[in-house]
Amino acid sequence: NAGVTQTPKFRVLKTGQSMTLLCAQDMNHEYMYWYRQDPGMGLRLIHYSVGEGTTAKGEVPDGYNVSRLKKQNFLLGLESAAPSQTSVYFCASSPPFRQKNTEAFFGQGTRLTVV
């Protein structure tokens, strides 16, 4: 019963390098999200998707791109990493909010350090 799995769990990047964070869910959820958590800032939404092939910007989308080619996967890309992107990244998935009693399920997080 994997739930939401994030890959990798840790990564150190040099400024200007690129990378992709992978999120996979096995609950057949329609919606998927990428958040970042910084000290004193809570969880801020980067991008989200309400279905396969769709993406939308969240609160802090700059410097990130996403793709949802398959329903179960949501990829977060950093084209040119900056130290300001040092953070813990969380992926989440949920059924459509129009359904009753739904909540989002989170992955374990990816700790990214940009030096």
Partner 1 sequence: DQQVKQNSPSLSVQEGRISILNCDYTNSMFDYFLWYKKYPAEGPTFLISISSIKDKNEDGRFTVFLNKSAKHLSLHIVPSQPGDSAVYFCAAERKGGSEKLVFGKGTKLTVNP
Does a cis peptide bond (omega within 30 degrees of 0) precede residue 8?
A: yes
Query: Which residues sit at the interface with partner 1, rule CB under 8 A?
Result: 4, 31, 33, 35, 40-45, 48, 50, 58, 90, 92, 94, 96-98, 101, 103-109
How is 83-115 classified by DSSP, letter by letter? GGG-EEEEEEEES-TTSSS---EE---EEEEE-
Q: How far is the CB of 14 from partner 1 (least distance, A)?
A: 24
Question: Toward partner 1, which CB reaches closer, 5 or 17?
Answer: 5
Nearer to partner 1, 18 or 108 (CB): 108
* Closest approach of partner 1 to the CB of residue 42, in Å: 4
User: Which is closer to partner 1, CB of 85 or CB of 94?
Assistant: 94
Smallest distance from the beta carbon of 21 to partner 1, in angstroms? 14
